[in-house]
């Protein structure tokens, strides 16, 4: 139920309007739950904070990290490019399939992983990259 559904129901007298916007509301609710809210360098890997539960990218799967400029526009395979940010799986000719967990389109940090490219947008990208490179060096992983 949304406010618009209530308004249309009151004006028309037809209660079906209450449920007409339910699928859209449900999609927004689910998208909001999977949107990234923060990033943390946890002991076992990079933890992407989300309301639906954290997503972990283990350090052992990360080959390198950089802040190189790469295109993030492309086809959406399974994801969202909306009000809550860009997250999910995408494809474009230069990167192939890649994953994004972006709260914003500035501050991009790219991870080269065993499963392909992953884009993140931490608040302090320079500090994030420096700390992550330190952890990867300890583990004997590359720096991209």
Alpha carbon 98 to chain centroid, angstroms: 11
Listed ranges 41-45, 49-53, 72-76; the one with the highest mean pLDDT: 41-45
Terminus-to-terminus CA distance in the chain, angstroms? 48
Q: Are strands 55-58 and 96-102 parallel, antiparallel or unpaired?
A: unpaired
pLDDT at res. 60: 95
**Please, which residues bridge with residue 55 across strands?**
48
pTM for this one? 0.80
Alpha carbon 102 to chain centroid, angstroms: 4
The domain segmentation of the chain, as residue ranges, is 1-34, 61-139
d(C-alpha 125, C-alpha 49), whole Å: 16
d(C-alpha 134, C-alpha 54), whole Å: 23
pLDDT at 137 over 70: yes
pLDDT at 104 over 70: yes
62-84: per-residue pLDDT in tens? 999 999 999 888 888 877 777 77
């Amino acid at each position: 139920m949304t406010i618009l559904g209530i308004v249309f129901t009151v004006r028309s007298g037809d209660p079906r309007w209450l449920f007409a916007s339910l699928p859209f509301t449900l999609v927004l609710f689910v998208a909001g739950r999977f949107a990234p809210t923060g990033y943390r360098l946890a002991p076992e890997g990079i933890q992407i904070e989300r309301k639906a539960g954290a997503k972990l990218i283990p350090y052992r799967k990360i080959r390198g990290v950089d802040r190189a400029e790469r295109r993030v526009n492309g086809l959406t395979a399974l994801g969202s490019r909306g009000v809550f940010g860009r997250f999910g799986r995408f494809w474009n000719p230069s990167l192939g399939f890649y994953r994004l967990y972006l709260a914003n389109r500035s501050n991009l940090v790219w991870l080269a992983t065993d499963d392909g490219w992953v884009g993140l947008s931490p608040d302090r990208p320079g500090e994030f990259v420096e700390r992550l490179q330190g952890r990867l060096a300890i583990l004997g992983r590359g720096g991209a």
